[in-house]
């Protein structure tokens, strides 16, 4: 595996691979790689000829009050993990390489960014995500780009972005990878102390409780959400949101009469955690 620092190096490597008839897969990450990230790398390895993993803590998607400076950074460890999962290239640019002096362009996706994390983290969050993903897609020119379903809203934003800008890339959403006790794997799990780590399992159990309610025939969204909130309350967790939305465009639902996306975000100890599940009526 090669570690590349510049856009020119990545473009040259991709051009060389394409000249040999290879397809290209891109796995965008902010580092602190865990099994969830590595499952994306392995999927890309199985489906494409050249696997590019980007490692870039994107400052434009963090609000001033968020954890940019504290976000875990372990490049040597991440490089070894990416290589073991099958990456060919680790693209680890500097901030100046991605956002050179005078950079003044931002991508805004309407319709799926104003609610949930967009409402909680501010309008700049998904603008930052959309902008850096657009840049990475242009830099690596992949046939497919791989994202985790844990970040369900982000996946919808990127799908809308790719559709609206006619970008020639297939967006692949891979299943959420969980710890044995059900906690969704996240780079921010390292912020959890032992007590918070136990409490954090309530997020997945809340999703399970709401899923059980739907399986039992409950169709009123308020009642479905109430089942999940009861589990969170028992763990002493007040969610930032726990909402049922359309899995296609995040519109609010009047009834659970088909697939529904239940999303949760909550602060548990020092960590802000998110999770989600598709509920089937």
Q: What is the CATH number of the domain that holds 78?
A: 3.40.50.620
Which residue positions form the known binding site for ATP?
30-37, 148-151, 177, 185-188
* In-domain check, residue 182: no
Which is the catalytic residue, given 37, 74, 108, 138?
37
> Which of 167, 87, 156 is closest to 126 using CA atoms?
156
Helix, strand, coil percentages for the chain (3-state, nearest 5):
45, 20, 35
Report how far residue 257's alpha carbon sits from residue 259's, in angstroms, rounded to the nearest whole number: 7
pTM above 0.95, yes or no: yes
Q: Which residues contribute to the annotated binding site?
A: 30-37, 61, 148-151, 154, 177, 185-188
Say yes or no: 125 and 207 in one domain. no
> Residue 281 falls within a domain, yes or no?
no
Predicted local confidence at residue 174, as pLDDT: 98
What pLDDT sits at residue 281? 85
Hey, is 225 helix, strand or coil? helix
For residue 42, how many C-alpha atoms fall within 13 Å in the half-sphere facing its CB? Answer: 13
Point out the domain boundary residue: 174, 205, 224.
Answer: 174
pLDDT for residue 88 is more than 90:
yes
Residue 179 lies in a domain: no
Of the chain, the percentage scoring pLDDT greater than 90 comes to 97
- Of 141, 49, 37, 16, give the one whose Cα is nearest residue 80: 37
37 in active site: yes
What are the backbone angles phi and psi of residue 53, rounded to the nearest 5°? -110, 120
Query: Are both 161 and 203 inside the same structural domain?
Result: no
> Which residues face 27 on adjacent strands?
53
What phi, psi does 129 have (nearest 5°)? Answer: -65, -50
Residue 219 lies in a domain: yes
Domain boundaries, position 226: 187-276
Give how many domains the chain has, as a whole number.
2
Looking at residue 238, which CATH number applies to its domain? 3.30.1300.10
How much is the average pLDDT of 238-260? Answer: 97
Percent of the chain with pLDDT over 70: 100
pLDDT digits (tens, 9 = 90+) for 211-241: 999 999 999 999 999 999 999 999 999 999 9
Residue 123 pLDDT more than 90?
no
Task: For residues 167 and 203, state if they share a domain.
Answer: no
């Amino acid at each position: 595996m090669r570690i590349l620092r510049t856009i020119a190096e990545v473009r040259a490597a991709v051009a060389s691979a394409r000249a040999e008839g290879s397809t290209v897969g891109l796995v965008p990450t902010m580092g602190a790689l865990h099994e969830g990230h590595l499952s994306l790398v392995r999927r890309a390895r199985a489906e494409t000829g050249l696997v590019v993993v980007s490692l870039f803590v994107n400052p434009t998607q963090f609000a001033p009050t968020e954890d940019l400076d504290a976000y875990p950074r372990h490049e040597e460890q991440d490089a070894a993990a990416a290589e073991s999962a099958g990456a060919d290239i680790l693209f680890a640019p500097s901030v100046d390489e991605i956002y050179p002096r005078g950079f003044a362009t931002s991508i805004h996706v309407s319709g799926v960014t104003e609610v949930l994390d967009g409402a909680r983290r501010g309008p700049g969050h998904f603008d930052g995500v959309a902008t850096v993903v657009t840049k990475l897609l242009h830099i690596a020119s992949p046939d497919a780009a791989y994202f985790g379903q844990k970040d369900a809203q982000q996946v919808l934003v990127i799908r809308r972005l790719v559709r609206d800008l006619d970008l020639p890339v297939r967006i692949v959403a891979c299943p959420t990878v969980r710890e044995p006790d059900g906690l969704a794997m996240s780079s921010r799990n390292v912020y959890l102390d032992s007590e918070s780590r136990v409490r954090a399992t309530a997020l997945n159990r809340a999703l399970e409780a709401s899923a059980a309610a739907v399986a039992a025939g409950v169709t009123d969204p308020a009642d479905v959400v109430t089942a999940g909130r009861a589990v969170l309350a028992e763990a002493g967790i007040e969610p930032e949101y726990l909402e049922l939305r359309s899995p296609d465009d995040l519109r609010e639902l009047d009834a659970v009469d088909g697939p529904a996306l239940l999303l949760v975000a909550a602060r548990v100890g020092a960590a802000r955690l998110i999770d989600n599940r598709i509920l089937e009526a």
